[in-house]
Amino acid sequence: MTVKIAARHVSAFYGDVRALDDVSIDIDTDHVTALIGPSGCGKSTLLRTLNRLTDTVPGARVEGDIRLDGRDIHGRDMDVVELRARVGMVFQKPNPFPKSIYENVAYGPRIHGLARGRGELDAVVETSLRRTGLWDEVKDRLSDRGTALSGGQQQRLCIARALAIEPEVILMDEPCSALDPIATARIEELIGALSGRYAIAIVTHNMQQAARVSQRTAFFHLGRLVEYGDTSDIFTNPRAERTKDYITGRYG
Provide CB contacts within 8 A for 10, sequence distance 6+.
Answer: 20, 22, 23, 24, 46, 49, 62, 63, 64, 65, 66
- By CB under 8 A, residue 91 contacts another protein: yes
Task: Write the CA distances from 97 to 51, 185, 204, 214, 235, integer angstroms.
Answer: 20, 24, 24, 29, 38
161 interacts with another protein by CB under 8 A: yes
Query: Least separation, in Å, of the C-beta of 103 and another protein?
Result: 9
Compose the 37-66 pattern: x for residues touching another protein by CB under 8 A, - for all others: --------------x-x--x-xx-------
Q: Are 179 and 98 in contact (CB under 8 A)?
A: no
CB 155 within 8 A of CB 179: yes
Q: Which of 37, 42, 108, 152 binds another protein (CB under 8 A)?
A: 108
The region of 13-21, 60-68, 88-96, 235-243 touching another protein under the rule CB under 8 A is 88-96
- Cβ proximity to another protein, 99 vs 224, nearer residue: 99
Q: Stretches 13-21, 77-85, 189-197, 243-251: which one binds another protein (CB under 8 A)?
A: 77-85
Q: Which of 10, 25, 158, 159 touches another protein by CB under 8 A?
A: 158
Residues of span 175-234 touching another protein by CB under 8 A: none
d(CA 31, CA 163): 17
Residue 79 makes CB contacts below 8 A (sequence gap 6+) with none
* Three-state secondary structure readout of 92-119: CCCCCCCCEHHHHHHHHHHHCCCCCHHH
Segment near another protein (CB under 8 A), from 7-15, 20-28, 83-91, 181-189? 83-91
Q: How far is C-alpha 138 from the geometric centre of its chain's CA atoms?
A: 24
The Cα 220–Cα 39 span in angstroms is 10
Provide, rounded to whole angstroms, the least separation between the CB of residue 232 and another protein: 31
| Residue closer to another protein, measured from CB, 98 or 196 | 98
Chain contacts with another protein (rule: CB under 8 A)? 51, 53, 56, 58-59, 81-85, 88-89, 91, 93, 95-99, 107-108, 111-112, 158, 161-162, 165
